[in-house]
């Protein structure tokens, strides 16, 4: 089984017996590292304890990946599901059971954010998928999501040529059937994150934490 051995945590990361109501998990993209989204944590200023996790597959140059790239935009289910379980093992070891997870992922990490929702929907609140997509294979929580329709943010650049058209089309079909979707497309933005997108994500997460939306 894969394990996650490195992460960066906020100074207020919860310790001791008290459980925070929610914590944010930042999940980087292919070839990046646990340090990549730390600046995004500060820019979002969610007021939540957070951790930025390193993906389990080391790559040349110091980066990492959540799963190998075989067919772009259409990965095999098994390695994605294995990476999903690795994240949940980290959560089980580091986060109190009563605490909800707010996953914020970019690119491959965006897929992993959706995987957390699709595997343990009752544990996830206000997931954010940035420049990412969903897996084509059915997941354990899909029927619950189709019934409950929790809030999901999906943002992407209008000029993003990294995420393939079929992956975007699959996600465009799947998310409205399984979520209360907040979809934003940013004209002129490539495979990246804009200041406007950061503002939109912050508003989305804070409003959903306040309203307590999610699967119960």
Residue 12 in domain? no
213-216 long-range Cβ contacts below 8 angstroms, 24+ apart: 213/125, 213/126, 213/150, 213/151, 213/180, 214/100, 214/124, 214/125, 214/126, 214/150, 214/151, 215/121, 215/122, 215/124, 215/141, 215/144, 215/145, 215/148, 215/150, 216/122, 216/148
Whether the per-residue pLDDT at 16 is higher than 60: the answer is no
Encode pLDDT of 59-112 as tens digits: 999 999 999 998 888 999 999 999 999 999 999 999 999 899 999 999 999 999
Domain count across the chain: 1
Residue 182 in domain? yes
Residue 3 in domain? no
What's the CATH number where 197 sits? 3.40.50.1820
Average pLDDT over residues 119-133: 98
Q: ∠ at Cα 17 (88, 114), nearest 5°? A: 20
Instruction: Read off the pTM.
Output: 0.94
Encode pLDDT of 17-38 as tens digits: 456 789 999 999 999 999 999 9
Residue 91 in domain? yes
Residue 13 in domain? no
Give the range of the structural domain holding residue 97, as residue numbers without chain letter.
21-210
Residue 193 in domain? yes
């Amino acid at each position: 089984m894969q394990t996650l051995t490195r992460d960066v945590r906020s100074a207020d990361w919860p310790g001791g017996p008290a459980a925070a109501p929610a914590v944010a998990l930042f999940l980087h993209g292919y070839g990046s590292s646990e340090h990549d989204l730390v600046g995004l944590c500060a820019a979002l200023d969610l007021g939540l304890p957070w951790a930025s996790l390193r993906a389990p597959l080391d790559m040349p140059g110091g980066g990492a990946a959540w799963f190998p790239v075989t067919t772009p935009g259409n990965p095999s289910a098994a390695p994605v599901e294995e990476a999903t379980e690795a994240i949940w093992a980290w959560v089980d070891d580091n986060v109190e059971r009563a605490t909800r997870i707010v996953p914020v992922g970019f690119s491959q990490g965006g897929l992993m954010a959706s995987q957390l929702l699709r595997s343990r929907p009752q544990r996830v609140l206000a997931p954010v998928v940035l420049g990412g997509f969903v897996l084509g294979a059915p997941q354990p929580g899909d029927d619950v999501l189709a019934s409950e329709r929790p809030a999901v943010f999906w943002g992407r650049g209008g000029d993003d040529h990294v995420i393939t058209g079929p992956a975007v089309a699959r996600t465009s079909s799947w998310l409205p059937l399984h979520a209360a979707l907040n979809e934003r497309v940013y004209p002129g933005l490539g495979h990246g994150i804009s200041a406007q997108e950061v503002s939109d994500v912050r508003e989305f997460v804070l409003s959903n934490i306040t309203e307590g939306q999610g699967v119960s």
